[in-house]
Structure 1
Amino acid sequence: MRPFFAVGLVFAGCCSNVIFLELLARKHPGCGNIVTFAQFLFIAVEGFLFEADLGRKQPAIPIRYYAVMVTMFFTVSVVNNYALNLNIAMPLHMIFRSGSLIANMVLGIIILKKRYSIFKYTSIALVSVGIFICTFMSAKQVTSQSSLSENDGFQAFAWWLLGIGALTFALLMSARMGIFQETLYKQFGKHSKEALFYNHALPLPGFIFLASDIYDHAVLFNKSELYQVPVVGVAVPIMWFYLLMNIITQPRPGQKGLPWPTSQYLQKTALTPALQNPFTLWHWLGTLFVFIGTLMYTEVWNSLGATKSQPRKEDKKN
């Protein structure tokens, strides 16, 4: 039961995280910097307390390597945030980021000279088809939802193309970071918790350059309507509550794009029916391709089956 419980927690956490991210972005589309800063600060403090032992524990991997990784990680996070300001809807944003599997495979073949099985190539093909369908339908929606003016429609589409370019760049940079991290683990051993801490702690000074934007959105958050937090009974500005829930539900060590339909269902049944993304039948079909392709690539069912069939330690002793 433990593997199923773990997968369920990750699945619920990812979906909940996306829900609160959209609640934030719907109200203030440019709030990505304050969200990222809050996430980085939370994980850095958590890691400083429990992983770095208040700074007394020396890193197993030299800091200079983390500096390179952090540069890439910080760039990916900021670019992904700004993509939301470029006519990129949240469903497309999450589905497009599932293309990390494609980017990882392409760079793995080019840089690491890896070769994959036909099964994995097939899974990547399914993910590619799914992303293409969702991207194509999103492009049609951008033009159709613009005003009747031809210039306005072209401008909206141009910003959307820039957003797609930003997401593509972020995908490739993220994949390159993964390859760099893989080479470090081969050389120094796998230290995922340590990497998680330094990847979030070292970039914090970089947010000084975004301080003005972060402060402006903090003021906007303070002016949002009050929300009575359940159980606690304390009234706080609702945007700060959304941000807190987004931080708490963020998966660790990393967040991957999970099926958007589940998030859509949770939004409409559990949180707020006011959020209505234009999610057509074609989007559902594209998401299904991405979902199946991702399961095939990661071979989740094989891992669960293998874990289930393994004898317990007590059985081995007997």
Structure 2
Amino acid sequence: MANATDCADQTRQRKSRNSPESTQALGQPGTVSHASSTPPWTNGAIQPIQHDKTLKSGKGDSPEGVEAVVTAVAHATIPAWVNVGFMLVLIFGGCCANVFTLEAIVSDMPHAGALITFTQFVVTSLLTLPNVLSFSAGPGSLFLKERAVPLKKWIIFTAFFMTVNLMNNSAFLFKISVPLHIIIRSGGPVTSMIIGYLYNSKRYTQVQILAVFMLSVGVITAALADARAKGKSLDIGLSATDNEASPVRTLLGFAVLGLAMVLAAFQGVYADRVYQKYGRNNWREGLFYSHALSLLALIPTYQKFLPQIKSVLSSPAPFSNLTSSQLQPVFGTLVSIPLLRSFLSHVPLKLLYLLLNALTQYLCIRGVYLLSAKSSSLTVTVVLNIRKLVSLILSVYLFGNHLSTGVMAGAAVVFLAGGIYAWEGARLRKIQQMKAKKSE
């Protein structure tokens, strides 16, 4: 009898251990613990997919399960795509608009490069100041937040940044037209690849090299065809008889742009190292300090800006005389709005161009800094080269220019090169992920 009783007790104990209540109390896999009334995923984490008896019985495709999967995928992918879309809007929207305002200014004021740079730095510094402003930091820190990156690093980066900007804008002093400006700077990806290989131990596949070469050829082809279609001068001055477009003057302009490309490539390498060491989320800090520190170097030269500022403020305001302006279609639409008519009729034309150029430059550079914090310097130059072609194509629709065969051919080559570069980048990332999984 004792043995029978012991067996019965053991049977009851096994049943109690296998009961749902006991299983929940122990928190074993495959069940949900009710110890806390608040699920762990209510704080923003992705709800875990539970592999319980429902899945085993073939009922795992219930609406609740499908909804959980969709929610998980959305949480993982939507923020990334929104971030990418935001970068593309800033770069392609801001930079393309900036090219149009730049051409409108330098066509009448070829010596305004320094003033353009100064205005851009002032506007960008003011718009990015809230990101680093902290009244609790006190006057000893100039009410600026504690920096994530040492100030010395930003000073070196600013030296690259300011020098490149001044050299690019000063190239117009040597009678370098905007189309030639675009063509010469299209060598940026090639320069970035060479500098990255020599000084940053970067290694590139043959597909990446081919894509970068095609990209440069495509932009040059499109820029040449666009300039011919618009009747713009592509004379590099080698056969000129006047002093303004002498061969020496033109070659000096090419040398300035070439040196600016090399310095820009070194700037990209330096930025890569800074972001790798201190984190890639500090791009807002870099955007402010690179422009604010540049102003400290430009302010002592304010006397050079005075004649240019007087010329800007003395420019005519009425928009009825803008028949030759490249931005006439845009301003013609704005003037048709009654609320803006009175304001725009009193604003000097060149001042409006200058402010629009500074604002679009802020949007452009914000997108570039965000992209540089998320990708390599070569990827940044590739995206910017594609943006240059988009600027040419948009001019067809905004200003009624003819889309020549050369522009279409160049566009096809550029977009094909961009697709090849993106495909190769995705392939390399997939290989790296597979290697990382194997090492784990």
Give the TM interval when normalised to the shorter protein.
0.7 to 0.9
Amino acid at match of 2:310: V
Matched, 1:71 2:162: no
Q: Offset at 1:270?
A: 3.6
- What does 1:12-91 align with in structure 2 at a 5 Å threshold? 12-53=93-134, 55-91=143-179
The DSSP-based 3-state class of the residue aligned with 1:27 is coil
Superposed counterparts of 1:157-168, under 5 Å:
157-168=247-258
Q: Give the drift of 1:289.
A: 3.8
Equivalent in 229, 243, 247 of residue 358 of structure 2: 247
TM-score normalised over the length of structure 2: 0.59
Q: Structure 2 residue aligned with 1:297, among 406, 412, 421?
A: 421
Q: Do the aligned residues in 1 keep the contact of 2:167 with 2:256 (CA within 8 Å)? A: yes
The answer to whether the 8 A contact 2:161-2:264 is kept is: yes
SS at 2:111 equivalent: coil
* Higher RCO, 1 vs 2 (CA within 8 Å, ≥6 residues apart): 1
**Residue identity matched to 1:293:** A
Amino acid at match of 1:162: L
- 1:195 matched residue in structure 2: 286
Partners of 2:118 and 2:295 within 8 A in 1: yes
SS of alignment partner, residue 236 of structure 1: coil
Q: Indicate the larger mover: 259-268 or 245-254.
A: 259-268
| Structure 1 spans left out of the alignment, 5+ residues | 307-318
Does residue 1:181 correspond to 2:271, yes or no? yes
The CA deviation string for residues 142-184 of structure 1, in whole angstroms up to 9 with x for no partner, is 448x69x764499533322221211111111011011111111
Q: CA RMSD in A?
A: 3.6
Q: Percent identity?
A: 26
1:66-120 deviations in whole A, cap 9, x for unaligned? 1111111111011001112222211232343232211111011101221112221
Opposite residue 63 of structure 1, the aligned amino acid is L
Residue 224 of structure 1 corresponds to: 315
Q: Distance in 2 between matches of 1:300 and 1:6?
A: 21
Within the alignment, does 1:101 sit opposite 2:185 as a pair?
Answer: no
Per the alignment, residue 120 of structure 1 pairs with 208
| 1:22 Cα deviation after fit | 0.6
Question: Offset at 1:127?
Answer: 2.7
What CA distance in whole angstroms lies between the structure 2 residues aligned with 1:203 and 1:8? Answer: 26
**CA distance, structure 2, for counterparts of residue 300 and residue 37 of structure 1:** 39
Distance in 1 (CA, whole Å) between partners of 2:245 and 2:352 is 35
8 Å CA contact retained: 1:95, 1:260: no
Contact preservation (8 Å) 1:34, 1:217: yes
Residue deviations 1:221-253 (CA, integer Å, cap 9, x gap):
011110466443312001111111112222133
Other-structure match for 1:314: none
CA distance in 2, matches of 1:300, 1:240: 45
Q: CA deviation at 1:302?
A: 6.0
* 8 Å Cα contact 2:175/2:244 also seen in 1: no
- 1:110 corresponds to: 198
Residue 193 of structure 1, CA deviation: 0.7
Structure-2 separation of matches of 1:258 and 1:210: 35
Query: What amino acid does structure 2 have at the position aligned with 1:194?
Result: E
Distance 1:247 1:117, change over 3 A: same
Q: Describe the SS at the equivalent of 2:347.
A: strand
CA–CA distance in structure 2, aligned partners of residues 129 and 166 of structure 1:
21
Cα separation, partners in 2 of 1:34 and 1:241, compared to 1, 3 Å: same
Q: Does 1:205 align with 2:316?
A: no
* Distance (Å, rounded) in 1 between the aligned partners of 2:166 and 2:256: 10
Separation of aligned partners in 1, 2:174 and 2:278? 40
More displaced, 87-96 or 115-124?
Answer: 87-96
- In the aligned structure 2, how far is the partner of 1:65 from the partner of 1:195? 10
Contact 1:37 1:207 (C-alpha < 8 Å) held by counterparts: yes
Which shifted more, 23-32 or 152-161? 152-161
Relative to the length of structure 1, the TM-score reads 0.79
Please give the secondary structure, in 2, of the residue aligned with 1:122.
helix
Amino acid aligned to 2:253 = G
* Alpha-carbon shift at residue 39 of structure 1 (Å): 0.9
One-letter code of the match for 1:46? L
